A = this chain, B = another copy of it.
Amino acid sequence: MESNTRPVAHNHISVDCVVIGFDGEQLQVLLIKRDTQELHDMKLPGSLIFQDEDLDDAAHRTLDTLAGVQIDHLSQFKTYGSRNRTKNPLDTHWLQQSWHQNIERIVTIAYFSTVRQLPRIPSQFKARWVPLNDIAELAFDHNAILQDALSHMRMLAVTTPNILFNMLPRKFTILQLRTLFSLVQDKELDVRNFHKKLKQMPYVVPTEEFQKSVSHRAARYYRFDRKIYNKVYGVRSMK
């Protein structure tokens, strides 16, 4: 390897997490409120990583300490290290306040996960669920990271659809399932063709429970059978 005179980067490293939930109608994103004198906006849950802390561990810790949320499986999808990503004066000032030290460029590794419905966030945390469509301008380059996360989700939905079932309640109706698929793929899905597709998913199994007290024909509840799923998808399964 060449010996160089140019100074070598010795940067802070962080993780940022995009966590997506589904309330039955919309996709929602877990965000953190930044409330200071100058700043009233939101950001992805993220944190610098500690000395000798593994990346995946840092991501789990971040969600635990910032939102009280535990996630079984987070997957890394992209790393951001542009020189400009922490150049906004408001952002750098906020970083100094938060970490009590001078922080130059931060290289951040972005993680993605889905969660079942919208886990309750204990009140001591500054985290909130925000509907995807209501998200305004975020801190740093977090809007770009979120967009990349959504593409990543669309890809995962094809290769490992369990990330979608992971968002639904234990018992769900086909309408809920179809709404979710439709949101993720960002297109309308034909009702009958969707039922047909269901038949090719042996891991979506009907229960004997039906909706109650709805003012129309009651829908049957289905459940996701992880064992059958793992057989179908072999080793590729999530965990």
Among the 9-residue stretches A19-27, A77-85, A113-121, A190-198, the one with 4 or more Cβ atoms under 8 Å from chain B is A77-85
Instruction: Specify the chain B residue showing the minimal Cβ separation from A46.
Output: B1
Q: How far is the CA of A53 from the CA of B215 in the complex (A)?
A: 62
What residues of B have a CB within 8 angstroms of the CB of A9 in the complex? 12-13, 48-53
Taking CB atoms and an 8 Å cut-off, the chain A residues in 70-108 that contact chain B are 76, 78-79, 81-83, 98-101, 105, 107
Q: How far is the CA of A54 from the CA of B83 in the complex (A)?
A: 6
Instruction: Count residues of chain A with CB under 8 A from any CB of chain B.
Output: 37
Q: Is A47 engaged at the interface, CB distance under 8 Å to the other chain?
A: yes
What residues of B have a CB within 8 angstroms of the CB of A65 in the complex? 2
Whether A1 contacts B66 in the complex (CB less than 8 A), given A8-B99, A76-B79, A79-B79, comes out as yes
What residues of B have a CB within 8 angstroms of the CB of A53 in the complex? 9, 83
Q: How far is the CA of A83 from the CA of B100 in the complex (A)?
A: 25
Q: Is A11 engaged at the interface, CB distance under 8 Å to the other chain?
A: yes
Q: Is A234 engaged at the interface, CB distance under 8 Å to the other chain?
A: no
The residue that A6 contacts in the complex, of B50, B81, B98, with Cβ under 8 A, is B50
Q: Establish whether residues A13 and B81, one from each chain, have CB atoms under 8 Å apart when the complex forms.
A: yes
Q: Establish whether residues B3 and A99, one from each chain, have CB atoms under 8 Å apart when the complex forms.
A: yes
Q: Establish whether residues A7 and B50, one from each chain, have CB atoms under 8 Å apart when the complex forms.
A: yes
Whether A10 contacts B8 in the complex (CB less than 8 A), given A3-B99, A100-B3, comes out as no
Q: Establish whether residues A10 and B11, one from each chain, have CB atoms under 8 Å apart when the complex forms.
A: yes
Q: Please name 17 pairs of A and B residues whose Cβ atoms are closer than 8 Å in the assembled complex, sorted by A.
A: A1-B98, A3-B98, A6-B51, A8-B12, A8-B51, A9-B12, A9-B13, A9-B48, A9-B52, A9-B53, A10-B12, A10-B51, A52-B83, A54-B81, A54-B82, A55-B107, A76-B78
